Amino acid sequence: MASTPGLKHLAALKIVFALHPYDYDPSADAIGLAAAKALGILPASMLKTLMVEVDGKPGCCVLPSDRQLSMKKVAAAFGGKQAEMMLPAKAERLTGYRVGGISPFGQKRASPTVIEVQACGLDRVWINAGQRGLLVSMTPADALRASDAKAAELIA
């Protein structure tokens, strides 16, 4: 079994999850959509992890792979005025994960995390486990607890 800081974090919290490896395609236009297709799951259940900066401070957004962030809603969710995407190199340094494998769990330096409220109404969600080509599935409640996140509107 693969071991990532995210998986160790989930195990330490006694979160019940299932592992889902898949063939990662680095040339895919949308990694989350490619993962959903590879595993045969609905894109709305496959959550992507995006790192942002709100008023210059890091934040982690988790949302359905078939949706886009609203920077206005992101700023509001984090209690700020201005939000922008974090540069990939900065996201990798901050989280300890490579782009395409960033997980909200077990980040090197944990950032405040928000999960799209629509995803929280699903029975099960799939989220990156901290390695390209490896996902975990769990209940949204467990995802919120494991990432110390709050639910809020993030999508355009």
Boundaries of every domain in the chain:
5-152
Dihedral of alpha carbons 119, 67, 10, 83, sign: negative
pLDDT tens, 55-109? Answer: 999 999 999 999 999 999 999 999 999 999 999 999 999 999 999 999 999 999 9
Indicate if the pLDDT at residue 29 is higher than 90: no
Whole-prediction pTM value?
0.94
> CA–CA separation, 30 vs 141, rounded Å?
26
- Distance from C-alpha of 145 to C-alpha of 135, rounded to nearest angstrom: 17
pLDDT score of 25: 85
CATH class of the 5-152 domain in this structure: alpha beta
For the chain, the average pLDDT equals 94
